[in-house]
Amino acid sequence: MPGTTRAWMVLLLALLLAMMGCARSPEAQKARHLARGDKYFARAQYREAVIEYRNVLRFEPSHAQAVRHLGLAHYKLGELAPAFSYLRTSKELDPVNLEVRQKLATIYLLGGRSAEARQEATFVLEKDAKNFDALTLLASAARTPQEIAAEIRRLETARGDFADERSFTSRSRASTSASKTPPRPRAPSGRRSPGSRNRSMSILRWETSTPASQTSSRPSGS
């Protein structure tokens, strides 16, 4: 019996060590960071979500969900330069994600790159002809008299897709305002930084040379 008991103890110890090893494996750590990031993102705790998603990229630099949510989280924080970088990478990983293309259109428009903004908004409308935000982005990006006239006709046509004209008008105003004024940039401490938007917009006028996947953070509680 003592020998049997000793054998069982050795077996249980071996199983315990194996479980601990699995819990600390790269895949397990990546999964934990991803779950934490999703939890923070759902709660609109974007600063915390950014940290967790960056940790995911330490294990898998091309993780499509982490890259996409990093772009959206930075956008929500008003940090347009990193948002732009991650969203462009997300577009490469998942070209048909309409939310990513729409946010890119907004940033391009704010950066004075109306041609790119129109391209992104047009793509969204090709997939979702009633996407209200894309409609107003495309109208805001119009520059020539021909483009402006075309977008007026497009908006008038879209009006028929909405039963409530008052709803159409209010949504149009809200969407146009949102496309011109995204979330205001914040300093890392959470305080608003008056000059951070200007710095972000100047960065957006240049092609970034650093891939989004290279910006990572140390694991937090791996």
User: Does residue 2 belong to any structural domain of this protein?
Assistant: no
User: Does residue 16 belong to any structural domain of this protein?
Assistant: no
CATH of the domain at 39: 1.25.40.10
User: Would you place residue 43 in the very low, low, confident or very high pLDDT band (cuts 50, 70, 90)?
Assistant: very high
Domain coverage including residue 166? 23-182+197-214
* Residue 210 pLDDT: 43
pLDDT at 45 exceeding the cut of 80: yes
Say what percent of the chain tops pLDDT 90. Answer: 47
Q: How far is CA 13 from CA 2, 28, 153, in A?
A: 16, 21, 73
Tell me what the mean pLDDT of segment 147-153 comes to: 86
User: Does residue 219 belong to any structural domain of this protein?
Assistant: no
User: Does residue 202 belong to any structural domain of this protein?
Assistant: yes
Tell me what the mean pLDDT of segment 208-222 comes to: 46
Question: How far apart, in whole angstroms, are the C-alpha atoms of residue 12 and residue 33?
Answer: 29
* Number of domains, the chain: 1
User: Does residue 17 belong to any structural domain of this protein?
Assistant: no
Identify which of 130, 131, 87 has the alpha carbon closest to the alpha carbon of residue 108: 87
User: Does residue 190 belong to any structural domain of this protein?
Assistant: no
CB 82 within 8 Å of CB 186:
no
Stated length of the chain: 222
Segment 90-122, tens digit of pLDDT: 999 999 999 999 999 999 999 999 999 999 999
* Residue 111 pLDDT: 94
Question: What residues have CB less than 8 Å from 64, skipping those under 6 apart?
Answer: 90, 93, 94
Instruction: Fill in the DSSP letter of residue 131.
Output: -
Question: How far apart, in whole angstroms, are the C-alpha atoms of residue 66 and residue 33?
Answer: 10
Angle between helix axes 46-59 and 64-76 (nearest 10 degrees) is 150
Task: Please tell me the chain's helix, strand, coil percentages from 3-state DSSP, rounded to the nearest 5.
Answer: 70, 0, 25
User: Does residue 3 belong to any structural domain of this protein?
Assistant: no
**Ranges of H-type helices in 43-144:** 46-59, 64-76, 80-93, 98-110, 114-127, 132-141
User: Does residue 7 belong to any structural domain of this protein?
Assistant: no
Tell me what the mean pLDDT of segment 130-155 comes to: 88
CA end-to-end distance (rounded Å), the chain:
41
Kind and range of the H or E run holding 154? helix 145-159
